[in-house]
Amino acid sequence: MRIVTITPERLSTEQVDRVVERLRTVLRDEQILTSKTDRYNRARVPAPFPVHRWAERVPDLAVLPTSTDEVAAVVRIANELRVPIVPRDGGTGLTDGAVPLRGGIVVDVKRMNEIHELDLENRTVTVGTGINMLKLNEQLARHGLIYPDDPASYPCSLVGGRIGTSGWSLIGARYGHTRDLVLSFDHVLPTGEVIHVGDGIGGKISKSSSGYQLKHLFMGHQGTLGIATKATLKLYPQPEAELSPFWAFDNYDDAYRCVGALARAGVATFAGAVLFDEWKVAYLRRDDEAYIPQPADVRALVCAVMYGYEDEVRPAGRRLFRIAKEHGARYLGDEISEGDWAARHDRYATPLHGRTKAGQVVPMSWHCEDAAVSYTRVPAVTKAWHEIVAGLRRRTDVFDDWGMFAYTSADTGVDYLTEIDIGIWEQQLGDEAWELWVQAKRDIAAAALRHGGSISACHGSCREGEVDLVPQELGRGFEVMLDVKRTLDPNNIMNPGKYLLDLAYEPGAATALAALRGGSG
Amino acid sequence: MTRADPDAGSGGDALTRPFTPGMASNDPGLAELTETVAGRVDIEIVDRETREFVEEWRNASYNCYSSGHKFCREVCPVMQVTRNESWTPTAFHANVVAMERGELDVADVAADYVNCTQCGACELRCPNTLFTGDFYRFRTRTVDVVKAVRALAVDKGVHQPQWQSWNARTDERTHEPVLGEVAVSQDTVRDWAEGLDIPVGGETVLFVDCEAAFYRTSVPRAVAQILQRAGFEFGLMGEQWCCGGPAAEMGYVEQAKRFARHNLDNWRSTGTRRVLVLDPHDYISFTEDYPKYFGDEFDIEIVLVVELLAELLRDGRITPSVPVERTVTYHDPCRLNKRKGIWEEPREILRAIPGLSFTDVDRVTQWSYCSGGGGGLPVEKPDLTAAISARRVDAAATLGVDTLVSACPWSERPLSAAGDARDIDVVDIHELLAESLGITVGGSRGEVGDRRSAGGCGGGSCGGGGGCGS
């Protein structure tokens, strides 16, 4: 049940023409895209998408600015004409921050992919937010440096999207996550004003205690507070050595205990550990060459990864191998370990793995639901989530359970990104299946909250379903969110319809919030 | 909904345990669950050709559409220079899904599909190909989708102006109008071979068309003379037409098939059993398009010259001995490296040439390199081709080389123009090998190549043919 329903008012053709006319005063014609394909191809992201209702998500036009000034000029016009703006970077997010819900102008930053300044002495690089991390690292490699922000979408996501979603990195336990790696950035507010966000007036300070710490506020807002255009990033030496052992277990419990012990060991080169549950191993057995040859008693896996100098990683590796052995681990060998870690970005998106319960191969969209959960709650959340997906599968083959990963978020093992991968047969998706899905998302979010976690460690939590529980998770903090939104975006033009932020402009917000908080258990 | 114990399962049925769908050992209870929700909404597509197109490609495109990760984008040569998401492999597949849903039609999408060189990088970088391809015998097929959309557009009378004119002129002259206003025709198609005494016909013919036959004539001259040096017997084609591949790439399928028919019939008439191919684009036509057109009837052996030369080298039938003092890197032509997996032989040849200082860039890094010269792009969007070539030459420039070696005549014109701006020579691998065999190649290296060689007149390649122009 949606508490808030807003009838989206779409622009008329005449209004769109007027917007285009104004945009032509600040952009070249070829930067303004109005064709149907331009708009249809900027309507979706990999998050589950109601294909049957694609047309409702199509923006009125898209623009391809090349500078902060151009972005600011576009936003000023939009604010003046009260036209929605939807920032789009890689468009690879797993929540739907970049999906237009009210039409309007998609501001696509991909052309802002310059490297503005490489500062070898202070170890920073300043880039346009439209640059991809892999491409950036190709340039940095010449200097023996690396920008270690490593999401699953590493080969295609962009720095700006990482800021807008406050991204999570696979090797964050060693290098930190996006919020730690981005030192500062230029940001266009919903009114078109440009501010510099981050510590220090020069943009290259990693810790300051001067004033409110605004950086976190302008990260992870899913495009509702504006657009980051230029960012200064922290750089590290390219690691000399990588060690990524994969271990097999004949039961989940031992694997779970092992991953906890590895993370708690306090090894300085430890960059992360991943736990594969029994469902994930069964899923990999559907076809994966790496696991088919494994004996049937392999039911759970753990991998850990270390980065550093050779003479740091070697002894650290010996320590972790010893811990793994004490927990009943069987090492899978160098070939699988190195190969699987190298393939970590490619492993996720495999539509061909989709199956009906009877085993028919059907093309399914990969989808991943995440939460942040304390170590001690990981098994309970794992169980609850599989049960939610089993409930879907009892009714339909539109959904498939592709198993779960739990990843360490931090170097001490305090909390884990848990994620369940779900295949969705979008070709068979209609309104009824979509409603089932939205309810499942509420249930998935509720399970994470019930166990003291957060609805999302990395994707964001603004989609239909889960978003209903955000006021519950944030408590009074959600009202602060509304106040901030109203202050910074007086006309609600910046990515409207997301995160229940329309409530900032509703007189009956208190009642709606009370209903959401009371009725979402 | 509130349950008493929200974490309690609903009682241990088959779905509460991990299982592999389809296994005989699975719980029979699974079969008792009936589908209550799934059901596709079929959208009536009135136009027959569009409907057939969608039926053929919907699942192939859906496999891209539903994949979360768009790893193809940053290796796509067009995307890298335009940064326009409408012109990405993922958009080319998503449009098909939208056409299936009746949201878009071919007139809406046709112009976008110009923006593809058919290099195949996206297919290789696709997680579907990389990760599950072997098991399912699956490969993402963006190049074929692009060709199919272009064919559908032509079929429906949606033309791109330059392509339409280019193919009309090709049809008229039996060769692509690679010299612009200067006519190309049957009368001049063998002019490149002047003075080389090559017979016509025979069991083995060297196929030379269009860009190589009329523009970069030093390439076929180099090849012919190397083969003669090795004592390898071959002739020229009786009535040589364009292979038809470019027409097929731009959507003019009927014309492409007509040209293919002519060539096959002509080989038959001269008793030809084997065709030597020096142009990677022709190689795609003969190994992919012709077998599709003719099925079992197509029994001609197709030999790629660069592979043949590597073999002659191994067998000691040619031995490069004249030092070539150049600092080079090699450009993997897309149709060899990405489309056909041929990358070893050219490197073998380069390493055999004395005097060369060769800085190699591995073939996987080169997935994201392209000259922009393929798929009809330079015909319709020459500026885009130039931008892609500039980017490729920039990458070479960071290596501090003076020469970029290619093995594809179509790449060499745009790369030469881009190289000129950075003072980098663009040389064909066959030209380089011939030079090292002490052969005076002759012919033209194209406008830029001839001008640059005239400057220093190095490399012994300034004889005859197109000559040292300016």
A156 in contact with B, Cβ within 8 Å: yes
Q: Which domain holds residue B350?
A: 319-439
Query: Is position B39 within any domain?
Result: no
Do B126 and B198 sit in the same domain of this protein?
Answer: no
Give a yes or no: residue B469 inside a domain: no
Does the residue B42 lie in any domain?
A: no
- A263 and A270 Cβ atoms separated by less than 8 Å: yes
Verify that B214 and B235 share a domain, yes or no. yes
Q: Which residues of A touch B37 (CB under 8 A)?
A: 395-396, 398, 430, 432-433, 436
- Condensed to tens digits (0 to 9), the pLDDT of residues B104-147 reads 999 999 999 999 999 999 999 998 888 776 667 778 999 999 99
Per CATH, the number for A115-237 is 3.30.465.10
Categorize the per-residue pLDDT at B460 as very low, low, confident or very high, splitting at 50, 70 and 90.
very low
Query: Each residue of A160-195: pLDDT tens digit?
Result: 999 999 999 999 999 999 999 999 999 999 999 999
Nearest chain A residue to B22, by CA: A359
Of A417, A420, A521, A392, the residue nearest A469 (C-alpha): A521
8 Å CB contact of A430 and B39: yes
Could you tell me if residue B416 is inside a domain? yes
Least confident of B31-40, B161-170, B267-276: B31-40
Instruction: Answer whether B108 sits within 8 Å of A37, measured CB to CB.
Output: yes
Residue A8: predicted pLDDT? 56
Q: Which residue has the higher pLDDT, B457 or A321?
A: A321
Q: Domain A351-467's class?
A: alpha beta
Identify whether the C-beta of residue A215 lies closer than 8 Å to the C-beta of residue A231. no
pLDDT of residue A377: 98
User: In terms of domains, do B324 and B364 share one?
Assistant: yes
Compute the half-sphere exposure of residue B433: CA atoms within 13 Å on the CB side of its CA. 33
In angstroms, the CA B83 to CA A108 distance is: 9
Asked if residue B5 has pLDDT above 80, the reply is no
Query: % helix / strand / coil in chain A, to the nearest 5?
Result: 40, 20, 40
Check B21 against A359: CB less than 8 A apart: yes
pLDDT at B150: 98
The two structure tokens encoding residue B409: 């005549």
User: Angle CA(A241)–CA(A374)–CA(A198) in degrees, nearest 5?
Assistant: 65
pLDDT (tens digit, 9 = 90+) per residue, A237-257?
A: 999 999 999 999 999 999 999
Give the single-character DSSP code of B87: G
User: How many CA atoms does the CB half-sphere of B78 hold within 13 Å?
Assistant: 28
pLDDT of residue A9 exceeding 80: no
Query: Hey, are the CB atoms on A351 and B35 less than 8 Å from each other?
Result: no
pLDDT band for A286, please (50, 70, 90 cuts): confident
Of A349, A286, A387, the closest CA to residue B21 belongs to A286
Calpha distance A151→A174 (Å, rounded): 14
B359 touches chain A (CB under 8 A): no
Rounded to the nearest angstrom, the gap between the alpha carbon of residue B377 and the centroid of all alpha carbons in its chain is: 12
Q: Which two tokens stand for residue B322?
A: 């004249």
Instruction: Judge whether residue B39 has pLDDT over 80.
Output: no
Pairwise CB contact (< 8 Å): B134 & A90:
no
Tens of pLDDT, residues A85-129: 999 999 999 999 999 999 999 999 999 999 999 999 999 999 999
Does A288 have pLDDT greater than 70?
no
Residue pairs spanning A and B at CB distance below 8 A: 221
Answer whether A484 touches B (CB < 8 Å).
no
Report the CATH number at residue B380. 3.40.50.1860
- For residue B394, pLDDT over 90 is answered with yes
Which chain A residues in 424-453 lie under 8 Å from chain B, judged by CB atoms? Answer: 424-428, 430, 432-433, 436, 446-447, 450
pLDDT score at B183: 85
Nearest chain B Cα distance for residue A174, angstroms = 25
- Mean pLDDT on B47-71: 92
Question: Is the Cβ of B248 closer than 8 Å to some Cβ of chain A?
Answer: no
Task: Answer yes or no: do B278 and B350 share one domain.
Answer: no
Best of A1, A33, A35, A36 to mutate (most B CBs within 10 Å, chain B) = A36
DSSP-derived 3-state class of residue A115: strand
Note whether B294 and B346 are same-domain residues.
no
What letter does residue B389 receive in the DSSP assignment? H
Distance CA A477, CA B299 (A): 74
The tokens describing A193, both together, are: 């004003």
Beta-ladder partners of B236: B200, B206
pLDDT band at B43 (very low <50, low <70, confident <90, very high): confident
Cβ-defined contact of B18 to A282 (cutoff 8 Å): yes
What does the alpha-carbon distance between residue B374 and residue B120 come to, in Å, rounded to a whole number? 11
Query: B136 CB near a chain A CB, below 8 Å?
Result: yes
Whether the Cβ atoms of residue B341 and residue B309 lie closer than 8 Å to each other: no
Contacts with B168 (C-beta within 8 Å, 6 or more apart), sequence order = none
Reported as a single tens digit per residue, the pLDDT across B256-266 is: 999 999 999 99
pLDDT in tens, B408-439: 999 999 999 999 999 999 999 999 999 999 99
Dihedral sign computed on CA atoms, order A43, A47, A50, A52:
positive
Q: Out of A227-231, B10-14, B145-149, B206-210, which region has the weakest mean confidence (pLDDT)?
A: B10-14
Put simply, the answer to whether A281 touches B18 (Cβ < 8 Å) is yes
Same domain, B292 and B345: no
Residue B456 pLDDT > 70, yes or no? no
Q: Are residues B283 and B335 in the same domain?
A: no
Q: What percent of chain A has pLDDT over 70?
A: 97
In this model, does residue B8 exceed pLDDT 70? no
Q: Mark whether B187 and B299 lie in a shared domain.
A: yes
Q: How far is A394 from chain B (nearest CA, A)?
A: 6
What is the chain A residue with the closest CA to B90?
A41
Please check whether residue B40 touches A, CB under 8 A.
Answer: yes
- The 10 Å Cβ neighbour count of residue A43 is 25
Number of domains in chain B: 3
What does residue A216 show for φ and ψ, rounded to 5 degrees? Answer: -65, -30
Q: Where are the alpha helices (DSSP H) in A327-475?
A: 334-342, 378-395, 431-450, 470-474
pLDDT of B470 > 70? The answer is no
Q: Nearest CB to B132: which of A108, A353, A387?
A: A353
Geometric angle at alpha carbon B255, from B249 and B261, rounded to 5°:
105
Task: State the best of A357, A393, A419 to mutate against chain B, taking most chain B CBs within 10 Å.
Answer: A357
Cross-chain Cβ contact B136/A92 below 8 Å: no
| Residue A350 with chain B: CB contacts under 8 Å | 67, 127-128, 131-132
Q: Touching check for B38 and chain A: CB below 8 Å?
A: yes
Average pLDDT over residues A138-167: 96
Helices (H), B287-332: 290-294, 305-314
Indicate whether B4 pLDDT > 60: no
Phi, psi of B243 (to 5 degrees): -65, -20
Question: Is the pLDDT assigned to residue A13 strictly greater than 80?
Answer: yes
The yes-or-no answer to whether A13-108 and A241-342 have a common fold is no
Question: Strands A145-146 and A236-237, how do they pair?
Answer: antiparallel
Cα nearest neighbour of B113 on chain A: A37
Could you tell me which CATH number the domain at A13-108 has? Answer: 3.30.43.10
Q: Give percent of chain B above pLDDT 70.
A: 93
Residues B429 and B330 both lie in one domain: yes
Domains in chain A: boundaries: 13-108, 115-237, 241-342, 351-467, 476-518
Would an 8 Å CB–CB cutoff place A115 in contact with chain B?
no
Domain A241-342 has CATH 3.30.70.3450: yes
pLDDT band with cut points at 50, 70 and 90 for residue A290: low
Mean pLDDT, range A363-375, rounded to an integer: 93
For residue A5, is pLDDT > 50?
no
List A86's β-bridge partners, or say none: A106
Cα B190 from Cα A20, distance rounded (Å): 55
Q: Return the higher-pLDDT residue of B353 and B186.
A: B353
